[in-house]
Every structure is written in structure tokens, then in C-alpha cells.
Structure 1
Amino acid sequence: MSSLPFHRIKRFVSSNPIVSRALVAALLGATALTATPALAQDAAAPSDNPTINLVNALVKKGILGRAEADTMIAQAQTQADQVKAAMQAAQTAQTSAQTAVAAASPASAQPGTSVRYVPQFVRDQIREEVRNEVLADAKTQGLVAPDAMPDWVRGIKISGDFRFRDEAHLFDKGNATDFLNIGTINSGKPADFNDPANQPPIRNTTANRNYLRIRARLGIEATIAPQITFYGRLATGMQNNPDSTNQNLGGYFTDKGIWLDRAYVDIHPFKGEDAHLFLGRMANPFHLTELVWDKDVNLDGAALSYSRRFGGGLSGFIAGGAFPLDYAPDDDPQTSVAKTGNGTATKWLFAGQAGLSWQATSKLTAELDGAYYVYSNVAGRLSPACYNTSAYCLTDSSRPGYQQAGNTLFAIRDLTTTDPTNQAIPQYFGLASRFRVLDASGALTYDLSDDLRLDLTGHYSRNLAYNASEILARGYNATQKASQIINNVESCPAGGIAVGCFKSGGDAWMVRATLGSSRIVKFGDWQITGSYRYIQPDALLDAFTDQDFHQGGTNARGWTIGGEYGVFRNTSFGLRWMSGQEVFGPPLKIDLVQADLNVHF
């Protein structure tokens, strides 16, 4: 298409004043984009710029006034200056970018070549700018609402872990073979030693075993309010067992059990103070508990803790709580109108701990703790005379609700019969000792380097309620004129149990050293550990000690060595060997070997 002659444009504009003003404004705007020097000339003088000449012609025709024309030309000049400044800034930025690229990749700066490398910091900046622009646009357009989720949802954290284990139980061929499985008896039917068809269960102490096991745990942490946090966790487990979350594989591929491992609230009402009230089924609130508690034990009840810094690297803490162990059945005893009161039937743990921690240097930290555990109503009680045909005797509920092995036990039923031909003796068994445990623990942590740490810990526990004479008296049946204690008296002559031949004690201790990374979180992190422990039969309540060492419980001594190595992020391989044997009584030596693959998220 051919362009119109200039004189025809001028004639058309001259006859249309409104069109003339719009056209002049458009032409001046376009002229500004070219940023030519002509705009700076005298507005009335002839110009090489046709737009200026057009404006002058319109002034002569009277269509535009001189002042109006000068104003329009001045505005165009201002726009031209702005355009020129923007173009110069763009040119400067382009030159800077080319210089940066040339410095990072000289070959790409040569004429005729393409840029083959963009520095990482440039790519990161571009990525961040694009991300921010996209999010800003999405929020502006209503595609993303910053408050779409409530605060409590944003405060939820999910965590978990999985462990695959190959575990071998290795028994010494010289072990005794007549250890009763008292835990099985007390959790089921009473054992009748005179009934050939109802013989008591016997522990395996000679036949080696190997198991494939898993452990899976899934936890949630939810911030309900600034002062309240909820913690919950589900875990695997073969039975209602407080000491372990292991699950044997096999069982003809039957489904595996899931248990409520934790469910509690942490109330911390004072801003700036490390004070907590725990309510529910909680993680163990006490420090350095390796000797007294299996690490899988969670406590039911209520607990308080408070920590404070004193300055100079010194800090202290206190903790305490009340934890129900077992309640008497609502109808206990079943065959009596008078029911057992809470004071004698309900079992409790009352516990307290205090400690100090001192960060002597940036590399050295020391901690010293003292704890006191009072187990209420856990000792068994000998029943009044009870017929051997009775389904229930008055003190049956005094037997422990869960136990492992080691504590001194006695038969708690005083059985009688009205039929001389009926010699049945169905029995349950209770603890012969009371337990008030004082535990002292200390730890030293020294950072040898940024990624190498040495940990040393020591523990000593003493059952202040241990008394051999009291134990023998509790297990003595005055009516029968015979002791009903069944273990830790193997060296006593038949019918002659006395303090001199009773083999037990109330002391326990343990030492451990660990060297390696402070945590196993990535490839190459590692730890090696070694420990030795010594636990007399009635030093600790055997229900809650480490379930792996010597198959759990007390009356055990021996060593543990192990190591762990990070193979991927949050993935590690571990190997551990435990070797334990009895402190007193018949021989019982057990080695345990565990190979683990651990995954955390």
C-alpha cells in the first residue's frame, strides 16, 4: 500500500481540528521514541523533522495556537529524554551481563558463539525471581490464599522410622534347663505343679534361635496453641509389651499389630520459661535412664519438668511425676462382697529427678543427675487360707501385671483342701521385695573435632528397700511352716531357706563409651560403642530394664559392643553383640547378635 502525499495529509488535518490535535499528539509521541535532536530546535524555525513542520503549518493556519504547539513539543522532548535514559540503562545492563558471562566462560564471549554456561548464582537468582513472580501473581489472582489452611494444620509435623533386623539368640550348652516362665503363668492360668496335664511353661535356655523382625513407628507433633503441643505415635509390637516395639515376621503372612505407643499433651504456659506439664502416655521425661529403663518404655500418667540456665555454662533441671502401673479390677476380689481398696491394690510409680549440666568449654560438657523411684504396692501379698478348688484367691491381684526375669518371687496363695485326694496346687507368683530405687548418673561429652565426639557415661543404682530378712519373711508361709520363695535360693538346703544361703542383692551399675559422629544423618557418619553392666536380682524392677540384654530383666552381668554407619541420607546399618550371664544362681549365659537397617524421616 502506497503512502499519502504530505500536502493531502495537511489539507485533511486543516479541515478537521479535533483530528488535527489527536494526530499531532500521536506523531509527537512517535517522534519521542526516535529521540531525535530536532525536538530541541526552535519550534518556529524550519526543521528536517516533518512532524515539527506539520505543527508549524497548523499554527499558521490557526488550527493550533503557538503556546499550545510549544507545550506539545516540550512534552515530546521530555518523553524523548526518558526514552533515551532507559535505552542507556538497558545498554549498560547488557554490557555488564556480557562481562559476567565472559568472566565465567571466556569462550562464550567471542563473536559468533553461543553462551554455553550460565553461572550458578545467576541461575539461582533467575529461579528465585520467577518463583516469587509466579507466587505473587497466583496470590493476586486468588489461586493461592495465604490463610487457606488453619494455623493448627500448618503446625503439624510428621516423623517416623523403620528398622529391619536379623536377630540371633545364642545359648550356652551348659545352661540350666529348669527356669520357669513366670510371666506367662501370671498372665494366664495359675500353674499346678502336681497336675501332669497342667505343667508350668519352661523357658528355652539351650536351643539357638534366629528371627527376622521389623519395627515401624509413625509420630505426629501438633502445635495446638503457643502453650500446648500434642504428641502421638503409633508403633508395631508383638504383644502388649512396654519394653519393645519389635514385630516378628512370618506367621503365615498374617497382618501385624499396631499399638498406641504415645499420646500426650505438653503444656508450657510461661513464655520464656522452660517449664512443662505432660499429661497422657508420654516419652520418658527423665535423663540418662539407660540402666533403669529400656529405651522403648513410655510412661502413663502426669509429669512436670523445669530447666533453667544459671550463667557460666551452668544449667539445671528438675522433673517429677506420678504414673499408675496397674489398677485392681473393679470387682476385685471376685468372690467377696468386700472389695479391695485402692490403697492396697492400685500400683503406682512416684518418681523425681534433679540434675546439673555444665558446658565447661565449647567442646566439653558434663552432666550429673540423681533420680529416686518409689514403686508403690508392687510387692506380692500372701493370701489368707484359700481352697485349692477356688477360681480366685484374695491376693491374686498383687502379682505383677508384667515382668521379665530376675526379681525374687514367691507363691502368693496359701492353699488348703478339704479332700485328701485332691493335691492340686494352682499358684500365682508375686515379688518378694519392695522397690525404692536411688539412681545416680553422670556423663561427659567431648568434641574431638567438628565431626568426632567422645561420650562417656556411668550409672549406679541402689534399691533402698532391699532387705534380705524382709524378703524371706514375706515369702514365708507360717501356716504351712515353709518358705514359698521359688528362686535365688538354689544354694539353700530343702526346707532350710535362710539369709545365709539366699543369693540376691540391691546394687546395679553400668559404664559406656561411644566414639564417632554426634548423629547418624548422612553417608559416612559413624559410631562405635562399648558398655558393661552388672545388675543384682533385686536392684531394679525387672519389668522395665533393657529387654535385649540377657533377654531382659535383672540378675545379669556382661558386655555390649556395637557400631553404626550411615549409608545414605537418614539411612544407616548397625551391628551389635551382647553377651550376658547370671550374677547368682544356676548358669544362664546368653549371647545376642543384631544386624539392623535403620531408616528415619
Structure 2
Amino acid sequence: MKPFRILPIAALMATSMSAMADSTIDIVNTLVTKGVLTEEEGRLLTKGREGEKASQDQALEKATKSGGKITISDVIDNATFYGDIRARYEFRNGEDSANNSEDRERGRYKLVLGLKTTAGDFYSDIALSMGANGRSDNATFGNGTNGANSKENVYVKRAMLGWKVTDWLKVEAGRVANPLYTTSMVWDGDLTFEGLVEKIEYKWGNVNLFGNFAQSQYLGDRQDFNISTNDRDSNGILAFQGGAKFDITDTVSAKAAVTFTKFTNDHAAGASVFIPGLGTNVGKGASLGTTLTATNDIRTIEIPAEIVFKLADGMKLTAFGDYVYNLDGDDRFKAAVNAATATSAITGAAIRDAGNDDKAWLLGLGLAMKQDKQPKKGDWSAKLWYQDVGIYALDPNTVDSDFMDSRVNMKGIVFKGEYLLRDNVVLNFAAGHATRKNDKLAAAASASDIALNIDSYNLYQMDITYKF
């Protein structure tokens, strides 16, 4: 983002006054040289002007160092406003195994407004956006009754306080942007973490090592009573990531990481159990399962990686991928079978016969042309990838809300492309097609836009984004 800048009036005034002081001193020195004034008389006349000039030069230097950024207070080194406005057209289509279909067409818009500050070793990031749902900052056109033209609420998207402890360690607290190197298959790009984050960056020879660690409050706070059984268990996320970025040759570089993630309410007393629905469920509002938000038995190893090839004329070719294995996937599967059997022996048997699928993977290619380090008019990029998500592999509450409609037990292909009409104006196009992976089970989702147990899904998006 380019910072929003103004030209401080103080800098103009300091420049003008400094020039006047210089002129006075020059005149006095000329009179001394011609013998009109003695040196002692000249020093007396210029003494006040020299002190005034020094003060004015300090003011000019301070204004210049600020780079024209808006200053909030004397204790803040700099403050930068940023944000974007986006307008989007979107079409979604879903069809179930009984040929029931749903088309959803809508216009949408998004606003994000943020402020970043630094003060010595401390820094902050505050961002406001629309959309009460964590996986979406969008609002839909006409979202109200006829004639109401309902206004949208604005929410706190981020409220982060950071501390640069050393050159290689940063600590952040509050509502923080997702610190993990990952993909949208696992974490929707709009999601934030709430809690504490530690970031490590260390250069070791030609290798840039990095580590990202998160302790996030996922749901609720914990309450313990010594005189009551109404205790409440919270749910947290613990994530530990280590990785490296390095050059293989002058034109080839690579990046990879290993991430361990655990949800802390596993098997807590009273904790709900994820139970997928059956693939035979059809029609509008068909059941996708029971307690689909449950995060029991999720303890994953994720390995994201990419390799970048620098081509001629600012072109780059990227091969990227992601692999996830739920270490407790078998326990998640067995818990679903047992819980379903307790209600219906037939449903329990069907879930057992469908088998365990606790892995997810993604492979893709990207091609981009970038003229400079900063975005410039004419830059463009395109990505194409395929992903395959098992029903017990991931938390259905965090997967991307667009592809594949916030669901697990889905596989399919996605294309995304963008072109810069101006340095700060981006035209985007995205398309995707997916199908249900295991036909015996539902395409489970904790929230979805299509009200069917989809067997086939299509999504098309076109939008324009103005950044400031």
C-alpha cells in the first residue's frame, strides 16, 4: 500500500523563514567586508539571526524526515493510512445428486480502512471493515427491504499492538493478521487470530529462516466454579511454524515450511463432536451433518512450499503446493461414527462404511509480470491450482469461503487472474469448478452460500479494487 501523504505547512514556513535569515546574515557580512561595520558590530547584529536560523533548520529537518506523513502526536514516529474499496459481480451455481440446482447471482462491495503507526520499537495496526463474518469483508447490494437501502455496519478487523524485541524477533498481541505462511485451502484470507503471536526472521548465510507461532483464542473464555457444574471450556488454537526461504541459483529460489496446529478443546467435557451428513441427502436445506462447527480431534501437520523461476522482462513462474495431514483424523472419524450410532444405527453404519479421509493437498502454477518492487500500471498475474480436501482433514470453519463454498469433502480447480489498470487500480477475475469428493458423505460446511448438499459447484467473480 502507498501511504497517504500531505505536505506539512510547517515545512514550507521553515524553508521560507530560513531563507530570510540567510539573507540578513549575507547583508551584514557584506557591510563588514566593505568596512561599513566593524566585525564586532556585525557579530552583534547577526547573533540573534544565527540562533533563529539554527532553530528554523531543526524544524525543517524534522519536517523533512517525516516524509510528509501525518503526525498523530510527538511520541509517534510516523502514521500511515491505507485501505481499499472493491466492487464485485459474482455468480455461484450448485447442483446435488438429484439434479436439484441453485443459482446465486449478486453484486457485492467491500471497504477496508486502516492505520499503521510506529513509535521506536513498538508498532500498531488498526483496520476497520464491513462484514460481521470473519471469513468475509463483503456486503451485498440491496441487502434490505425495498426502499430501505440499509446502511452497513463497520467492524474492527484488526487491532494489533506489536513490539520489535530484537532484529530477529517480533511479538504481536490483540486481533492480529494471520501470521502463518499457508494457503486458502486451509485458512480463508480474511480470517484473523485473536491472542498472541511471535515472529522470527533470521538470516543464516544465504538462507532466510523464519518462524511463526500463534496462541489464539478461538471461542469463548474459560470459567471454573468450585461450587457449580456450570464450568465453561474455551477453545484455542496453538500453531507452531518453522521454515526457510533460499536461493537455489541466481534465477531460482524456494520457500517451504512445516506447521503444527492443535485445537485445545479436544475431548473437553461437554465438547461437541463433528458428525458429517450423508451423500444421499438431497433438496433445498438438506442436512450436511450435525455439529459441523466442532473442532474435536484436529491436530494437523501442514507443509506449504513454492519454487520461483525468474524469467526475462520481469516475468516469474511459480510452482506452489500445500499438504495437510490430520494426525487425529482417525479419532475424528471414530468419534463421528460413535456419536451418529448413538442416535441412529443406520446413520452410524453409513458413516463408518464411507471410511476415513484425513488428508488435504493442493498443487498449482502461477505466472506474473512485475515491472518494479511497487505495483505499477500494466503489471499482471495468473494462478491455476487443483485442491483435494478430505472430510476429516481440516477445520470446516476456516477453509476459504469462496472456493469451495466454505466446505470440506470437496475437490476441484481454481483460476485467479489480475491486471493493474493503474498503479492502485486492480481488475480481478476468478473462476472455479468443484465436485463432492466422497459421494457417500455430505459436502459438509459450517456456513455456505448454496443451500444444497452439492455434488457439483461453480463460481465466477469479477471485481475492481481501488487501493489507497
TM-score interval w.r.t. the shorter chain?
0.7 to 0.9
- Distance in 1 of aligned mates of 2:77 and 2:164: 20
> Structure 1 residues 439 and 428 mapped into 2: Cα distance closer, same or farther (>3 Å)?
closer
Shift of 1:228: 0.6
Q: Deviations over 1:21-55 (max 9, x none)?
A: xxxxxxxxxxxxxxxxxxxxxxxxxxxxxxxxxxx
The residue that corresponds to 1:3 in the other structure is none
Deviation at 1:441, TM superposition (A): 1.3
Task: Give the equivalent residue in structure 1 for 2:139.
Answer: 247
| CA deviation profile, 1:476-509 (whole Å, cap 9, x unmatched) | 42xx6x45xxxxxxxxxx3661665134410000
State which of 248, 252, 260 in structure 2 corresponds to 1:372: 260
Alignment partner of 1:465 out of 317, 325, 328? 328
Among 145, 164, 168, the alignment partner of 1:268 is 164
Secondary structure of the 2:349 match is: coil
Partner of 1:446: 309
1:579 to partner: Cα distance: 0.9
Q: 1:259 aligns with which of 131, 144, 155?
A: 155
Number of residue pairs the alignment of both structures matches: 383
What's the counterpart of residue 83 of structure 2? Answer: 160
Match of 1:501 in 2: 353
Deviates more, 1:516-525 or 1:241-250: 516-525
Compare 431-440 and 258-267 and name the one that shifted more: 431-440
Compute the displacement of 1:143 (Å).
8.9
Residues 403-552 of structure 1 mapped to structure 2, 5 A cutoff: 408-409=275-276, 431=294, 433-467=296-330, 468-477=333-342, 482-483=344-345, 494=346, 497=349, 500-518=352-370, 521-552=375-406
Distance change in 2, residues 1:330/1:432 (3 Å): closer
1:418-475: per-residue Cα shift (whole Å, max 9, x none)? xxxxxxxxx9666385100110111111210242111111110011101133432244
Over the matched positions of the two proteins, sequence identity in percent amounts to 20
The match for 2:416 is 562
Corresponding residue for 1:213? 108
Residue type of the partner of 2:79?
I
Contact kept in structure 1, 2:116 and 2:124, CA below 8 Å: yes
Partner of 2:429: 575
CA distance in 2, matches of 1:496, 1:221: 52
Amino acid across the alignment from 1:285: P
Quick check: 1:338 aligned with 2:228?
yes
Q: Is the 8 A contact 1:469 1:499 kept in 2?
A: no
1:222-243, CA deviations, whole angstroms, 9 ceiling, x for partnerless residues? 112x211011101111x3x111
Compute the TM-score of the two structures, normalised by the length of structure 2: 0.74
Corresponding position of 2:280: none
Q: Quote the Cα distance in structure 2 between the aligned partners of 1:137 and 1:211.
A: 60
Provide, for residues 108-139 of structure 1, a one-character-per-residue CA deviation record: whole Å limited to 9, x for no partner.
xxxxxxxxxxxxxxxxxxxxxx9996363389
The answer as to whether partners of 1:521 and 1:571 remain within 8 angstroms in 2 is no
2:194 corresponding residue in structure 1? 300
Note if contact 1:242-1:544 (Cα within 8 Å) is conserved in structure 2.
no
Partner in structure 2 of residue 115 of structure 1: none
Q: Using a 3 Å threshold, how does the CA distance of structure 1 residues 566 and 357 change in structure 2: closer, same or farther? A: same
> 1:329-353: CA deviations, max 9, x gaps?
8699xxx9723445xx211111100
The residue matched to 1:549 in structure 2 has which SS?
Answer: coil
Change (3 A) 1:135 1:555: farther
Deviations 1:551-597 (A, max 9, x none): 11211110011211111121111111011121113652111100010
Taking a change above 3 Å as real, the CA distance of residues 167 and 331 of structure 1, as seen in their structure-2 partners, is farther
The residue aligned with 2:123 is: 229
- Contact 2:275–2:291 (Cα < 8 Å) also in 1: no
Name the one with the larger strand percent. 2
Give distance in 1, aligned partners of 2:410 and 2:294. 18
Query: Which residue of structure 1 lines up, in the alignment, with residue 44 of structure 2?
Result: none
d(CA) in 2 for partners of 1:244, 1:131: 46
3-state secondary structure, aligned to 2:408:
coil
Task: Measure the CA separation in 1 of the matches of 2:239 and 2:20.
Answer: 55
Whether the 8 Å CA contact 1:176–1:588 is kept in 2: the answer is no
Structure 1 pair 151–318 and aligned structure 2 pair: CA distance change class (3 A): same
Closer/same/farther in 2, CA of residues 470 and 575 from structure 1, 3 Å limit: same
Q: Secondary structure at the match of 2:334?
A: helix
Q: Which amino acid aligns with 1:260?
A: V
Amino acid in the other structure paired with 1:321: A
1:584 to 427, 438, 446: 438
The 8 Å contact of residues 429 and 463 in structure 2, kept in 1 or not, is answered as: yes
The answer as to 2:458 corresponding to 1:595 is no
| Displacement of 1:380 | 8.3
The answer for the alignment partner of 2:210 in structure 1 is: 317
Structure possessing the higher relative contact order (Cα contacts under 8 Å, 6 or more residues apart)? 2
Q: State the distance in 2 between where 1:442 and 1:428 align.
A: 33
Task: Provide the rounded CA distance (Å) in 2 between the counterparts of 1:340 and 1:207.
Answer: 43
Counterpart of 1:353 (choices 229, 232, 241) is: 241
State how far apart, in whole Å, the 2-side matches of 1:428 and 1:440 are.
28
**Pair 131,450 (structure 1): closer, same or farther in 2 beyond 3 Å:** farther
Contact 1:520 1:566 in 2 (8 A): no
Structure 2: gaps (5+ residues): 1-11, 22-51, 64-70, 278-289, 443-453
* Contact 2:416/2:431, CA 8 A, preserved across alignment: yes
Please tell me whether residue 283 in structure 1 is matched to residue 177 in structure 2. Answer: yes
State the superposition RMSD in angstroms.
Answer: 3.1
What does residue 137 of structure 1 align with?
19
